[in-house]
Chain A
Amino acid sequence: MRLYSALLRLYPKSFRLEYGAEMRAVFAARRRDAGSLLGVAALWLETIPDVLMSAAGTHWDIARQDLRYAARTLRRAPGFTLTAVLVSALGIGATTAAFTLMDHVLLRPLPFPDQDRLVKLWENHTINGNFWDIAPANYRDWKQASKSFESMGAYRAQAVDLVGQGEPIRLEGASVTWEVFPLLGVQPLMGRFFQQSDDTTGALGTVVLSHALWQGQFGGDAGVIGRKVSLDGAPYTVIGVMPRGFYLPARDALFWTAMRFEPEDFQDRENTYVYGLAKLRPSVSVRQAQVELSGISGQLAREYPKQLANIGAKVLPMRDQVSDRSVMMLRTLLGAAFCVLLVACTNLANLLIARSMGRRKELAVRTAMGAGRERLVRQMLTESLLLSLAGGGLGVLFGITALPLLSRLVPNSLPIAEVPSVDLRVLGVAALLTLLTGLAFGLAPALRLSRREDSNDLREGSRSGVGGRKERLRSTLVVVEVAGSIVLLVSSGLLMRALWRVQATDPGFRAENVLTLRTALPMPRYRSRAAREEFYTRVLGAVRQTPGVTGAAYTSFLPIVLRGGVWPVEIAGRLQDGANRLNASLRFVTPGFFSAMQIPLRLGRDVSEQDRFDRPFVAVVSASFVRRYFAGENPIGRHFQFGNHDREIVGVVGDVRVRGLEQESEPQVYLSYYQHDQVSTWYAPKDLVVRSTLPTEALANTLRRIIREVNPEQSVSDVQTLTEVVETQTSSRAVQLRVLGAFALVSFLLAAIGIHGLLAFNVSSRMQEIGVRMALGARSSDIGRMILRQGAELAAVGVVFGVSLAYGAGLLLRSLLSGVEPGDGPTMLAAVGLAALMTIGSGAIPAWRAARVDPTMAIRAE
C-alpha cells in the first residue's frame, strides 16, 4: 500500500487530495479480490502503467485548462502581452544568435573524422614570436625524420586563370600534396583524389573541383570527370569533385591541383611558402609531437646555422586556428547577449509583478472559491511560460534573421561554412532558454502572489503592495536593469572609441578616389620578362591617357592586406646574427606608384623607367627602414643586399601600414618591377591602382576594356575601391560594434520601460496619498519632483553598480580596445549622461500625471 501511495504522488496535488483516499480504497479492494500471489503480481503489472498514463493525462488536463485560461487572459490585455512577448523575444533572439555563432566557430567539431588528431605545422620564428609557413626543404626534412605522425601533407594557396568556360575568370584555390585529402579523411563526391603519381614531375595536370565551382562553372555536369580545362594556359584534367561544404585552406578555395616539388624548391631554406598539415598517430599527443619536432628542427638549425637560427617548429591542433581576437569577439557577443537576456528577464518579472498587483482581486476571488496555492502558482507559471514560448518562437526567428549579419565574424581560416545554420542543437538551447526565462520571470511573481496573506485583497482599496516588499523587489529589478544596460552601453562605447581610433589611423596613403583591380599574369604565357613588361606598359599607357585619371601604377601587393613577404636585409659591416636579423617587407612597383597612392616622397626620387634590368639595381625605402638601419645618416646612395641583388637607395618615402591598420609599420623596400628577375612569380606586380575623379563603375568598365584589348584572355578580379580595401580591415570590428550597439540600445529601452512602469504604477496606487499631500498644501512641482526623485534614486544606484561592472568588463575586453582605456572618461560620462536622460524621460509622464492630481477627486474616489 505504501508503494501505491507513493505512486499516487505522481498525480497533481489537487487531484490526489480529492480522490487519493478513494483510489487507495479501490486498490485495497482489488488486491483483496486478486487472491493469489500471481494475481497480486498481475494487479501491479496493470496498475503501474495505468498510474503513469493517467497521472500524465491528469496533469495535461489541468495544463490544458490553464493554457486556455491563460490565453484568454492574455488576449484581454493585448498591450501587456505584446510587450512581454517582444521583450522575451529580444532576449532569447540575441542569445540564440550569439550562441549559434559561438557553437559554430568554437564548440562544434570540424567536419573531419579524427579531428582531434589533425594538426597544423608551422615554422616558429622565436625572435618575433610569429608562426610562419614552412620552407619546402624544412617540410621535407621534418617529414622524413618524424615518427609522431601517421601522415603529413603540404599545401599552398594558388590562384589561376580558368579559360575556356566563357569569360576568363580568376579562381582562388590551393595546390596540395597527395597526402592531404586522405589524411583529412574526406571522400570525393565524384571521381578520385590525387595519387602519388600525380605529384611527380612530368605527370599530366590534374584538378579537383569544389562543389561550388562544379555547380557554377560546369553547371553541375555529371560527366565532368575527364573534362579538359585550361588553368593559367596549361592543360588540366578534371579528376574529382569535392562534396559541398569542404573548405581548405579557406572558404574561397574553388579548386585543388596536385602540388609538385621540383629539386630547386629545396634549395632555399628561407623562402617559406607551404603550409603543413599532419595527422598524429593514435597514441601520440600534440605535446609529444611538439617535443619530437622541436628536436628535429633543433638538429636542422645546427646544420644550417645561417638560415635557421632561432627557427623552430610548432605543432598546433587544427581546431585552434581561431585567433584570440576572434574568440574574444565571440565571447563578448555571447556575454552581451546574456546581459540582454538578463535585462529582458528582470523587465518581464517587473511587468508580471505589476500586472499581478492589478489582478489581486481576481486571484483573491479564485482563492476564496477554493483554488489551492499549487493551482494558482501553476496557473501563473503557465501564463509566463506561454508568454516566453511565444517570445522564444519569435526570438528564434529574430536570431535566424540576424545570423547573416553575424556571420561576418566567422574567421575565414576555419574549414567551416560561413553562415552558421540553426539546427536541433541550437533549437534545443533556445528551448531551454525559453523554459528558463519563463520560469525565472514567472516564479517570483507567482510565489508572491499566492501567499495567503494576500487574501485580504478582497477588501476594496487595500494598499498592500505599495511601499512593501513587492515594491522593494521591483525596485531591485529596476536597478539590475539599469546596471545591465550601463554595462552594455559602456562596453559598446569603448569598442566604438576603439573602432574610431583604428579608423583614424593614418595608413600612410590616401585611399580616396583610388580604384584597384587584380590582373595576375598566368605564368607559361608571361614567363618572359619582356612579355610581362609589354603587358604592364601597354595597360598603364592606355590607363594614364584616360581623361580624369591622375595616376596609375602596378604593385605586387596592395598595402595593408596581409600578403607579401619579408626578406633579409644585408648591409656591409652590419652583423647579421640570429638575435638581430635585419629584414624588410618587399613590394615590386612601377614608376608612379607613390604619386598614385599619395605616399609622400621624403628624400631622393621614385623608381623610374630608366631603372632597367641592365642598369644598377635601385630601391626606394621607407622612413622606418632608414630609422632602423641608417639612423642619423643620409641614406641616399647607400647600398644593401636584398632580394638576391645589391641595391642602391635612391629615395625615401613615408611609412605605410603594410600589415593592417592595427599593426605598427615595419621597414619596407620598394623595387622597380623592371628589375624583377623572376625570383618568384609571387612577386610579379598584379594589383593595379588608379587614382581618378571618374565614377567607380565607369572607370572599372574602361579598365576592363583596356585590359581586354591588351589580352582578351586575361582575367580581371577583385575590382574594388581602395577605401573598401581599408574598410574591410575594420569590418569585423564594425559588425561587432553594430551588434553590441543594438544590444545596448535594446537593454537601454528595456530599462526605460522598467523605470516608467514602476513609477506609473506607483503614481496610480498613491493617488489618495498625493491628493492628501496636495490638500495639505504641497505644490504640483513638489509632487512631480517627488516622483522623479524616486526614479533618479533607482537609476543612480543602477549606474553606480553598472559603471563598476562595466569597468570590469572593459578590463576583460582590453585586447579588443586597441589602446582605449577601460575607464575611458568620455565613454563613462556619456553613459551616465544617457542614463540621466533616460531617467528623466521615462519618469516624465508619471511625474506629470502625479502633479496634475486633483486633490478633491483623488480623496473622494477612495
Chain B
Amino acid sequence: MLRSQDSDPNSLLPLPEATFHILMAVAGEDRHGYAIIQDVAARTDGSLKLSPGTLYRSIQRMLEQGLLEETNERPAPDQDDERRRYYRITEFGRETAKAETRRLTNLVRLAKASGLAPGRA
C-alpha cells in the first residue's frame, strides 16, 4: 500500500477535511496525536474537534498513503510520555497539501467570479 514518493500528489485530491487539517497541523513541526487534536481545535477556534477515532483512522491511512511518517526524534524526557508517537509530514505529504491548497484557491477564485463571495476574481 505504500505510495512511492514520486507518485502524483493530485491523485489523492480532493483530500478529506480531517486529512488536510492533520497535514496543516504537522506542517510546521512534528506532533503527537493529542497535540494534533489540540492544534486543529486552536487553528479553527474550536469549531473542528477531531475525535481520537477519526484521528487515528486518518493517521493509519495517511501513513499507508505516504503522506505522513513516524519519527523517532523525541522531545526532552520531562516533556515526553513514552506512549506517544510523533508524526512528521513527508515531502509527498507537503506536495499533496500544496496541490490541495491550489485546488481550493482556484475554487474560491471561481466562486468569486460568479459573485458568490466578496472580493474580486
Q: Which of B47-55, B71-79, B90-98 contacts A (4 or more CB under 8 A)?
A: B47-55
Given A30-B34, A57-B57, A21 contacting B51 (CB threshold 8 A): no
Complex: chain B residue closest to A46, CB-CB: B51
Given the complex, which residues of A lie within 8 Å of B51, measured CB to CB? Answer: 46-47, 50, 54
Contact bitstring B38-70, A, C-beta under 8 A = 1, else 0: 000000000000011111110111000000000
Interface residues of B in 1-48 (CB under 8 A from A): 1, 32-34, 37
Q: Which 10 A-B pairs have the closest CB atoms?
A: A54-B53, A50-B51, A25-B83, A50-B53, A26-B34, A19-B56, A21-B83, A54-B57, A26-B52, A29-B34
Cα-based distance from A51 to B1 in the complex (angstroms): 25
- Asked if B83 and A51 sit within 8 Å, CB to CB, the answer is no
- Asked if A50 and B34 sit within 8 Å, CB to CB, the answer is no
New A-B pairs, 18, CB < 8 Å, besides A22-B83, A26-B34, A65-B1: A15-B60, A19-B59, A22-B33, A22-B84, A23-B56, A24-B83, A25-B33, A25-B81, A25-B84, A26-B33, A27-B52, A29-B34, A30-B34, A46-B51, A50-B51, A50-B53, A53-B53, A54-B56
Contact bitstring A51-83, B, C-beta under 8 A = 1, else 0: 101110110010001000000000000000000
**Which B residues form the contact surface with A (CB < 8 A)?**
1, 32-34, 37, 51-57, 59-61, 81, 83-85
- Asked if B56 and A51 sit within 8 Å, CB to CB, the answer is no
Of B32, B37, B60, most buried by chain A (CB within 10 Å of CB) is B60
Given the complex, which residues of A lie within 8 Å of B81, measured CB to CB? Answer: 25
Given the complex, which residues of B lie within 8 Å of A23, measured CB to CB? Answer: 33, 52, 56
The answer, yes or no, to whether A264 is at the interface (CB within 8 Å) is: no
Interchain nearest-CB distance for B88 vs A (Å): 15
Complex: chain A residue closest to B61, CB-CB: A61
Cα-based distance from A57 to B59 in the complex (angstroms): 13
Complex: chain B residue closest to A27, CB-CB: B52
Cα-based distance from A50 to B52 in the complex (angstroms): 8
Complex: chain A residue closest to B1, CB-CB: A65
- Asked if A18 and B34 sit within 8 Å, CB to CB, the answer is no
Interchain nearest-CB distance for A25 vs B (Å): 4
Given the complex, which residues of B lie within 8 Å of A18, measured CB to CB? Answer: 60
Interchain nearest-CB distance for B70 vs A (Å): 10
Cα-based distance from A186 to B19 in the complex (angstroms): 61
Cα-based distance from A15 to B61 in the complex (angstroms): 11
Interchain nearest-CB distance for A834 vs B (Å): 51
Complex: chain A residue closest to B49, CB-CB: A46
Given the complex, which residues of A lie within 8 Å of B1, measured CB to CB? Answer: 65
Interchain nearest-CB distance for A18 vs B (Å): 7
Given A18-B60, A19-B60, A26 contacting B53 (CB threshold 8 A): no
SS class, residues of chain B in contact with chain A: helix
**Which A residues form the contact surface with B (CB < 8 A)?**
15, 18-19, 21-27, 29-30, 46-47, 50-51, 53-55, 57-58, 61, 65
Cross-interface CB contact of A54 among B54, B83, B85, cutoff 8 Å = B54
Cα-based distance from A495 to B34 in the complex (angstroms): 73
- Asked if B34 and A58 sit within 8 Å, CB to CB, the answer is no
Cross-interface CB contact of B53 among A21, A24, A55, cutoff 8 Å = A55
- Asked if A58 and B57 sit within 8 Å, CB to CB, the answer is yes
Given the complex, which residues of A lie within 8 Å of B33, measured CB to CB? Answer: 22-23, 25-26
Cα-based distance from A47 to B37 in the complex (angstroms): 14
Given the complex, which residues of B lie within 8 Å of A51, measured CB to CB? Answer: 53
20 contacts between A and B (CB under 8 A): A15-B60, A18-B60, A19-B56, A22-B33, A22-B84, A23-B52, A25-B33, A25-B34, A25-B84, A26-B37, A29-B34, A47-B51, A50-B51, A50-B52, A54-B53, A54-B54, A54-B57, A57-B57, A58-B57, A61-B60
Given the complex, which residues of B lie within 8 Å of A53, measured CB to CB? Answer: 53
Of B34, B59, B61, most buried by chain A (CB within 10 Å of CB) is B34
Cα-based distance from A19 to B1 in the complex (angstroms): 18
Given the complex, which residues of B lie within 8 Å of A46, measured CB to CB? Answer: 51
Cα-based distance from A566 to B61 in the complex (angstroms): 83
Complex: chain A residue closest to B50, CB-CB: A50
Complex: chain A residue closest to B59, CB-CB: A19
- Asked if B54 and A50 sit within 8 Å, CB to CB, the answer is yes
Given the complex, which residues of B lie within 8 Å of A30, measured CB to CB? Answer: 34, 52
Given the complex, which residues of A lie within 8 Å of B34, measured CB to CB? Answer: 25-26, 29-30
Cα-based distance from A815 to B60 in the complex (angstroms): 64
Cα-based distance from A15 to B63 in the complex (angstroms): 13
Cα-based distance from A55 to B60 in the complex (angstroms): 13
Interchain nearest-CB distance for A582 vs B (Å): 88
Cα-based distance from A46 to B53 in the complex (angstroms): 11
Cα-based distance from A21 to B83 in the complex (angstroms): 6
- Asked if B85 and A22 sit within 8 Å, CB to CB, the answer is yes
Complex: chain B residue closest to A54, CB-CB: B53
Given A22-B83, A25-B84, A61 contacting B57 (CB threshold 8 A): yes
Given the complex, which residues of B lie within 8 Å of A50, measured CB to CB? Answer: 51-54
Interchain nearest-CB distance for B13 vs A (Å): 19
Given the complex, which residues of A lie within 8 Å of B85, measured CB to CB? Answer: 22
Given the complex, which residues of A lie within 8 Å of B57, measured CB to CB? Answer: 54, 57-58, 61
Cα-based distance from A25 to B32 in the complex (angstroms): 11
Complex: chain B residue closest to A52, CB-CB: B53
Interchain nearest-CB distance for A399 vs B (Å): 39
Interchain nearest-CB distance for A365 vs B (Å): 15
Cα-based distance from A46 to B37 in the complex (angstroms): 14
Interchain nearest-CB distance for A64 vs B (Å): 11
Given the complex, which residues of B lie within 8 Å of A25, measured CB to CB? Answer: 33-34, 81, 83-84
Cα-based distance from A22 to B87 in the complex (angstroms): 12
Complex: chain A residue closest to B32, CB-CB: A22
Of A26, A27, A57, most buried by chain B (CB within 10 Å of CB) is A26
Given the complex, which residues of B lie within 8 Å of A65, measured CB to CB? Answer: 1
Cα-based distance from A21 to B85 in the complex (angstroms): 10
Cα-based distance from A57 to B52 in the complex (angstroms): 13
Interchain nearest-CB distance for B106 vs A (Å): 30
Of B32, B61, B83, most buried by chain A (CB within 10 Å of CB) is B83
Interchain nearest-CB distance for A117 vs B (Å): 54
Cα-based distance from A50 to B59 in the complex (angstroms): 16
Cα-based distance from A50 to B81 in the complex (angstroms): 24
Interchain nearest-CB distance for B71 vs A (Å): 14
Cα-based distance from A607 to B59 in the complex (angstroms): 100
Given the complex, which residues of A lie within 8 Å of B56, measured CB to CB? Answer: 15, 19, 22-23, 54
Cα-based distance from A29 to B81 in the complex (angstroms): 11
Given the complex, which residues of B lie within 8 Å of A27, measured CB to CB? Answer: 52
Complex: chain B residue closest to A10, CB-CB: B53
Given the complex, which residues of B lie within 8 Å of A26, measured CB to CB? Answer: 33-34, 37, 52, 55
Of A29, A53, A65, most buried by chain B (CB within 10 Å of CB) is A29
Cα-based distance from A22 to B83 in the complex (angstroms): 5
Cα-based distance from A21 to B34 in the complex (angstroms): 12
